[in-house]
Amino acid sequence: MKILFGVQGTGNGHISRSRELVRKLKEDGHDVQVVISGRKESELKEIEVFSPYRVMKGMTLVTYKGRMNYIETMFQLDLMRLMSDVLMLDTYGTDLVITDFEPITSMAARIRNIPSMGFGHQYAFRFDIPFAKGNVFEKYTLLNFAPARYNAGLHWSHFDQPIFPPVIPATLYDREILKPVKGKILVYLPFEEVEDVTDFIAPFEGYDFFIYGKVREVLDNGHMHYRTYSREGFLADLMESNGVVCNAGFELPGEALHLGKKLLLRPLDGQIEQESNALAIDMLGFGMVMHSLDRAVLGDWLEKPDREPMNYSRTVDYIAEWIGSGKWEDLQKYTDAAWREKP
């Protein structure tokens, strides 16, 4: 099958989960062509598995100090360029378009009447799951940013809906490689300024914090350890950690739950997906939530016991099987199997 696969490049989570599915689809013999949009090519890392790929401008969301900036988001939007990219995109012979919240491929599929599939956490919101109130604009944007005809939604729980478990990197299924280190905490707050994160964690000297995000150089300063982005290094620190402090995105909390790490989420203000994720974590009892860098909440959370691993299945195997079957209306058969079977 010839597949055009669109990846939203603005978040590492999109790239991480798409990397796993693209690899599996190629292993299954599909011809996969990848479009990445929303970030400059020079800023993209560890995307070799996507080759051959094409980087396009697309659309992105602008944030500042932990809050969505809708004004700047609108200013950076180039509708003429977006439509030009859509119309110029080569879809000849394409059997299926898969979009991980990527608007160019989504629009191209709709305009040319090509079967399309949404892959990712955002597509779980098509079903009856926890959804923060937000406003009409936020909900419309989430549901219509990159819509598709069929939806492979992902979430930490199935909520009695036809959605899949999270996509977990293959390396995290062998947890015997690295054992947790007592008192090691992974901190990933990419929407916060590093100085604010430092002030937030500085008083808790009984723990070692490994800090990722807007870090420009590797530095060890007492109990604070600053790390630049490296997928391999990040996963190693995740495996060794006892707990994770992060924004309320989807991929990292899913990986932490899979491994049995306790979670403290700080949702991005004004971002309805993250606010909905925080609501879900609280409802499920899977972690704690703070709506600012609150030291009192952090201190309470640090005293919490460890969690049991969720041991999610190898989700991409079930999604790839569903895609290869061509029976895309028969979704629940594959979602049920993914929740029932363990790795």
Written as six digits, the tokens of 104 are 């160019």
In-domain check, residue 308: no
Average pLDDT, the chain: 91
Pair (158, 234) in one structural domain: no
In-domain check, residue 183: yes
Calpha distance 202→208 (Å, rounded): 10
- How many domains does the chain fold into? 2
Pair (322, 335) in one structural domain: yes
The pLDDT of residue 65 is above 80? no
Give the global pTM: 0.90
Pair (19, 68) in one structural domain: yes
Report pLDDT for 250.
95
In-domain check, residue 319: yes
Sign of the dihedral defined by the CA atoms of residues 212, 217, 218, 223, in that order: negative
Calpha distance 141→138 (Å, rounded): 5
Domain limits at 328?
Answer: 2-168+313-340
Assess contact for 84 and 108: CB atoms under 8 A.
Answer: no
Report pLDDT for 76.
64
CATH number of residue 25's parent domain: 3.40.50.2000
Pair (156, 242) in one structural domain: no
Pair (158, 222) in one structural domain: no
Written as six digits, the tokens of 186 are 């992974």
Pair (59, 177) in one structural domain: no
Pair (262, 199) in one structural domain: yes
Report pLDDT for 70.
53
The pLDDT of residue 333 is above 90? yes
Pair (56, 161) in one structural domain: yes
Pair (78, 192) in one structural domain: no
The pLDDT of residue 213 is above 80? yes
Pair (203, 277) in one structural domain: yes
In-domain check, residue 256: yes
In-domain check, residue 330: yes
Pair (129, 180) in one structural domain: no
- Section 298-312 average pLDDT: 95
Taking each helix axis from N to C terminus, what angle separates 136-144 and 272-284, rounded to the nearest 10 degrees? 90
Pair (227, 160) in one structural domain: no
**Distances from the Cα of 254 to the Cα of 47, 127, 164, 165, 178, angstroms:** 21, 19, 12, 9, 18
Higher pLDDT, 65 or 95: 95
In-domain check, residue 198: yes
Give pLDDT tens digits for 238-261.
Answer: 999 999 999 999 999 999 999 999
Report pLDDT for 229.
85
- Section 308-329 average pLDDT: 96
SS3 of residue 30 by DSSP: coil
In-domain check, residue 307: no
